[in-house]
Structure 1
Amino acid sequence: MKSLKKLLVLLLLPLMAFTAAHKFYVSVTNVNYSEKDKALQITSRIFIDDLDKLLLERYDLKAQLATGEESPLADAYLEKYLRAKFVIEVNGNNADYTYIGKKYDADVVIFYIEVPNVDKATLKSVQIENEILTDLFDEQQNVVHFKIGDQKKSFVLVKSRTKGMLNL
């Protein structure tokens, strides 16, 4: 894990030096197992301006996220997009998930998703396919962190490699 963090810093540092000339496209998703709720609980952080651009280009919706003029259609289109681009498999089978909602934090949207009724005793694998924003930005990187029990694993998913799996 430490070596992954060091690698990410080394990869990100040169990119940050040129932020005025080139924007960096990244999302961060955390997948955790809740013993209490017997569910996979997922949060995903995505930049607001990237989602605004996506909604305009893909759905012709001027969403104006996180403003007083936010479109009343924004939530429905965001959920529709998430369901098309964010797929979860549990033990090799597509898992239905509940889109709980979103909140804003500075310049990001935090999405809350839950896969209910997951029995840890029979849990063998969790796979995430994350194609969020890869259809709009070729440089998009979707970082996924798994934490299930004492198992931890992280992936950097890109347009050419959109899936990451944790085997238990």
Structure 2
Amino acid sequence: MLQLLLISWLSIFHPFYVSVTEINHNAKNQSLEVSCRIFYDDLEHTIEKQYHTQIDIVHPKDKAKVGQLINDYIKKHLTIKADGKPVVLNFIGYEVQEDAAWSYFEVKGITGKPKKFEVHDDLLYTEHPEQINMMHIAVGGERKSTKLDNPDSDAVVLF
């Protein structure tokens, strides 16, 4: 309880920057379901700086264009290999929940149960030196988590 109170108190004086990426193996559909949760204001700011364009993730004038920018940005900063093979993230879409944008991807053709994931995740690193990227990977009912602190951007997770 004291730890939670301390973290809450510190966040008032020093904002923290965290994203969460979930990778779930769906054996029935032979796919990976990937979702990224990023504070939408941080994502907007980063996309605006990198793409030199103004966007509004919460109330977009053109949701397809905003989705395309989010898709492009995430694909440049999140790459995954399953059992040594690079996977192609297929963008499903995004939605806003409270203060975060959830982006959804699918990877088809994942036959068998993956044993090794190599993930490169440097989402928001260019704009936030204190960025932390959390990862949760689930295969066959087993879930493993790891954390990447900027500048560390590579993780290997074994099942």
State TM-score, norm by structure 1: 0.85
Tell whether 2:156 aligns with 1:165.
yes
Q: Which consecutive residues of structure 1, in runs of 5 or more, have no partner in the other structure?
A: 1-8
**1:34-54 superposed Cα distances (whole Å, 9 cap, x missing partner):** 122111111111001001111
- When structure 1 is superposed on structure 2, of 56-65 and 78-87 the one drifting more is 56-65
Give the Cα–Cα distance (whole angstroms) in 1 for the partners of residues 64 and 89 of structure 2: 23
Match of 2:119 in 1: 128
Task: Report deviation, 1:71.
Answer: 6.7
Contact 1:63 1:71 in 2 (8 A): no
2:110 to 114, 118, 143: 118
Contact 1:145 1:154 in 2 (8 A): yes
2:18 to 13, 26, 50: 26
Give the Cα–Cα distance (whole angstroms) in 1 for the partners of residues 72 and 92 of structure 2: 13
Tell whether 2:140 aligns with 1:149.
yes
Give the Cα–Cα distance (whole angstroms) in 2 for the partners of residues 154 and 23 of structure 1: 23
Task: Report deviation, 1:61.
Answer: 1.4
Task: Report deviation, 1:95.
Answer: 1.1
Contact 2:125 2:151 in 1 (8 A): no
**Distance change in 2, residues 1:25/1:99 (3 Å):** same
Q: How many equivalent residue pairs?
A: 159
Match of 1:6 in 2: none
Contact 2:129 2:151 in 1 (8 A): no
1:44 to 36, 41, 45: 36
Task: Report deviation, 1:165.
Answer: 2.0
Give the Cα–Cα distance (whole angstroms) in 2 for the partners of residues 18 and 148 of structure 1: 35
Contact 2:122 2:150 in 1 (8 A): yes
State TM-score, norm by structure 2: 0.89
Contact 1:45 1:108 in 2 (8 A): yes
Contact 2:95 2:102 in 1 (8 A): yes
Q: Which consecutive residues of structure 2, in runs of 5 or more, have no partner in the other structure?
A: none
**1:93-134 superposed Cα distances (whole Å, 9 cap, x missing partner):** 21112111111111111111111110124x231122111001
Q: Percent identity?
A: 24
Give the Cα–Cα distance (whole angstroms) in 2 for the partners of residues 156 and 58 of structure 1: 25
Root mean square deviation of aligned Cα: 2.1
Task: Report deviation, 1:24.
Answer: 0.9
Give the Cα–Cα distance (whole angstroms) in 2 for the partners of residues 83 and 100 of structure 1: 13
Task: Report deviation, 1:70.
Answer: 5.7
